[in-house]
Amino acid sequence: MYLWMAFTALAGASGPQSCSTRPAVLIGRPSRHQQRKDSALLPRPGVELGIAPPDPQRPKNLQPQRACRPFTAFLNASCHALLRSARVLRLGMRLVSGKVRSAGRKPAADADRPGSPPRPIGVATAGSARSCVPYSSALPGADTGGFGTTVLGMTHVEIEITAELVQDLVRDQHPDLADRPVHLGARGWDNQLWRLGDDLAVRLPWATGSADALLHKEHAWVPALAPHLPLPVPVPQRLGEPSERFPRPWLITTWVPGTPADRTPVTRAADAADSLAAFLTALHQPAPGDAPAGRDRGGPLADRAEGFARGLAAATERGLIEDPDAVRAVWHDAVTAPPWTGPPLWLHADLHPANVLTAEGTFCGVIDFGDLCAGDPAYDLAAAWLLLPHDTIDHFYAAYRPTPDAATMRRARGCAMTRALSGILIGDAGVHGLPGGKPTWGPPAHAALRRLIATTR
């Protein structure tokens, strides 16, 4: 999904915050609730033990310290030793009772290998207690999918997803597919994708709480839409039910071959423009009344004005935007355009270079329908600015049916600008090795920004 989570990948968006990357064992680690219970039994630092309380506004290495008397230091160390022992004992009891199944550490082939997709923001793995980033009410919401004001919630992965686990899940619930080989395909924002043989894939939620609902949505709606689309899409085949082994739903879909456009852009631009226009013409049909609503997608641009301003400020502060006034001019033109007055149309609502596949210089597939919804087609038409060279944008609009009016194209430019800003920030985070960053997202986002600004000059 093209979540508007970009700014959460950048440290210090609203002030210094601490991010823990301590080694941890994921399987059997005591819950945060249990940790709070354990912590309640300990003397409180700075109160019972006479240690100076930490200042939340200062880095850990600059925290005020006070010399402790020998007995105080001994008592403090003893309490923490007892706590660690209690945790080990509790883990042993859980292992003996069979409530925890240790899957072991990830094999090297699956863990952080070169070229593997970066982890989503806030995802715990075998190497860290959690990958964390600063929060701020100024950041776009993670689960809302738009430039909202929801604070990004951190998610902890309690079950490590391995090839062995995927094979066991398939064997338990879909034994007719159990003989197929399994290997990692990709790690996305919401789901991990595991190849199941040559023509199927298993998608398992791992990073966000909303992923379960998105998988159910795809299973309910995509099979009926897919036959009418001119490009291949992943079609859900089986729905996996939550179980003791994996307590969340999961999905088996068809596999669509190709390379994401953020890694391999199109070279046959006219063919690609025709292909994208044909795909969106087929998809943009009136949606039924019970079609899913978008997560801040497909609605009026004015609803995201505040988030846009925050995103632009974040990118400008990092020196990623040379002419913020030109960016504002594109946005202002889009926000003041007449709104969509037609019926809500089916939207993919997450069309960006990582969700469109290429082969032989043109588009060969569209993936990730988790944000499928009904709304203003301008939201999807914005994709042309990120996916196509500048000299083919007009070609795309001429091939799309019905030909969009001037107001729709203005709104599409505004939607494209929000996507470009997100891509720029996510790409910058990837360049600096921050959690959730994707360095391949930066170049197409910067190119789109330049093309959009050129329309105002």
- pLDDT tens, 409-436? 999 999 999 999 999 999 999 999 998 7
pLDDT value for 158: 54
Q: pTM of this prediction? A: 0.70
pLDDT value for 63: 43
> Does the structural domain 163-254 have CATH classification 2.30.110.10?
no
pLDDT value for 210: 81
Domain assignments of the chain as residue spans, ordered by start: 32-97, 163-254, 259-454
Contact (Cβ atoms closer than 8 angstroms) between residue 382 and residue 301:
no
Sign of CA dihedral 186, 187, 190, 191: positive
Assess whether the region 163-254 and the region 259-454 belong to the same CATH fold. Answer: no
Q: Mark the ranges of the chain whose per-residue pLDDT is less than 50.
A: 1-5, 7-9, 11-54, 56, 58-156
Q: Which of 238, 201, 225 is nearest to 372 (CA)?
A: 225
pLDDT value for 148: 31
For 259-454, CATH number out of 3.90.1200.10, 3.40.1030.10, 3.40.47.10, 3.30.70.260 equals: 3.90.1200.10
Average per-residue pLDDT in the chain?
Answer: 75
First to last CA, the chain: 32
CA dihedral 330, 412, 214, 250 (to 10 degrees): -100
**For residues 135 and 7, what is the distance between their CA atoms, to the nearest angstrom?**
9
